[in-house]
Structure 1
């Protein structure tokens, strides 16, 4: 009689089948949204956005104060129902004259609505999980932070006169999406023993290899076209009133895609 395979010992399934760093990241952004919605008074919440959201005009005026008039003109343009509010906010930014460099990262901790933060949490769980399992918590956080900073910088370059605060973790999530695309679409390995005994660390696909992978190419094409459409028509995010910052997404995605091989944790490779 053949011996039975050495199956892994059964254990109770965890409530959240995600790496701890992913669960903690989702918990942080949900907790911040809950505190803003249910505990902070409106004045404190406005102060929080002023101090921690990313405002491109704040950076532009700090580096070139002579562009204050351009910022006011840009704030007064557009929809007449919100133009006065934008102009008042622009005047505050001009009068303040502070750079607040930490906002290049902290804007990712804030979200515009519950719909916004839940949508981002779902994508973070889906694409952050494989990256965290492969790279570990610190590299996972480094990739996300690099995408957040890159997305913020590109947003400033694309809309230097913008006085609308940028919030949301989407640029960091885009970086994790791009990082995951470098290895998750590879075909499974056959004939390599029991998968529960020997985890396979597949090599990062090179760009030529990705271009030959139809699944990866389809994913990248859909992601790029979707973001370009959002950029052209300024479509709000589901029921949210804020338009999607497609440029921040693009900056995060490019950085995650190009830098992932440098963040990847070495391991036994089997093609």
Structure 2
């Protein structure tokens, strides 16, 4: 009798949650492309993140959306993009890291996580761009947060950036490294160094990527990155390696 080996899912097959997220970004941008310019400008004012909106000085200005926009724009800005190349650049970075994260978290945790990292990016942008009138848009802060969260387990043996990895689902569910241990891993430190260098080069050099000449909001990227790195454990459903051993020992001791 021949034994059947279950099929191994390709590591880059997109999970449903990530596919839905990318489709939402594309659908929103396509809808905006169909609007006349004045209505599209209104959408940006309503849903883009504008630091001046939170100005408490005598120079404060009224903005469309009132108080509600002060709340929802902390997340809604991340769903808007300047053009297709802006979306494409974000999606390109998101595919490997977001795929692993969506498999690990499941759809609901993944969507909430992307929203929380968007908030972290907006908060960092607000702190560093007080009184600025130019709106910030784009999913880069959330993408950065997903990348930061993924490196907590990406280099662990069997995960998607290790040399000995399983199928996509197995690679996404290896136990993550504790934060302090991850920050001592040379591979993680190397990744962090390259990531920060790229963001600083693009940000300080005012180099635009598919954003019609707009400079990169690199402070928001860093805010989203640190939010994802620090809050990963609050979302992670997979126990750490040490916790797994404790749970297994506890289950054994409860048997009679």
Specify the TM-score bucket, using the shorter chain as the normaliser. Answer: 0.7 to 0.9
Q: CA deviation at 1:266?
A: 2.9
Distance 2:98 2:112 in 1: 12
Match of 1:135 among 105, 108, 114: 105
Alignment-derived partner of residue 251 in structure 2: none
Alignment-derived partner of residue 76 in structure 2: 106
3-state secondary structure, aligned to 2:177 = coil
Alignment-derived partner of residue 180 in structure 1: 150
Change (3 A) 1:205 1:56: same
Q: CA deviation at 1:5?
A: 5.5
Match of 1:148 among 110, 113, 118: 118
Number of aligned positions between the proteins: 232
Q: CA deviation at 1:6?
A: 3.8
Q: Does 1:203 align with 2:213?
A: no
Decide which structure has the larger Cα Rg and report it: 1
Distance 2:30 2:124 in 1: 29
Q: CA deviation at 1:208?
A: 3.3
Q: What are the within-5 Å matches in structure 2 for residues 1-271 of structure 1?
A: 6-8=4-6, 17-37=13-33, 39-60=34-55, 64-68=56-60, 94-96=61-63, 98-99=66-67, 100=69, 101-188=71-158, 199=170, 201-237=173-209, 240-266=212-238, 269=241
3-state secondary structure, aligned to 1:102 = helix
Q: CA deviation at 1:10?
A: 8.4
Q: CA deviation at 1:223?
A: 0.6
Distance 1:244 1:43 in 2: 24
- The answer (yes or no) to whether the contact 1:174–1:250 under 8 Å persists in 2 is yes
Change (3 A) 1:32 1:225: same
Change (3 A) 1:188 1:43: same
Larger displacement relative to structure 2 (232-241 or 126-135): 232-241
Distance 1:215 1:170 in 2: 23
Distance 1:264 1:126 in 2: 18
- The answer (yes or no) to whether the contact 1:115–1:240 under 8 Å persists in 2 is no
Per-residue CA distance 1:22-57 (angstroms, 9 max, x = gap): 0011011111112212x1111211111111111001
Distance 1:9 1:245 in 2: 42
TM (normalized to structure 2)? 0.81
Change (3 A) 1:254 1:40: same
- The answer (yes or no) to whether the contact 1:26–1:124 under 8 Å persists in 2 is no
3-state secondary structure, aligned to 2:158 = coil
- The answer (yes or no) to whether the contact 2:156–2:176 under 8 Å persists in 1 is no
Distance 1:10 1:154 in 2: 41
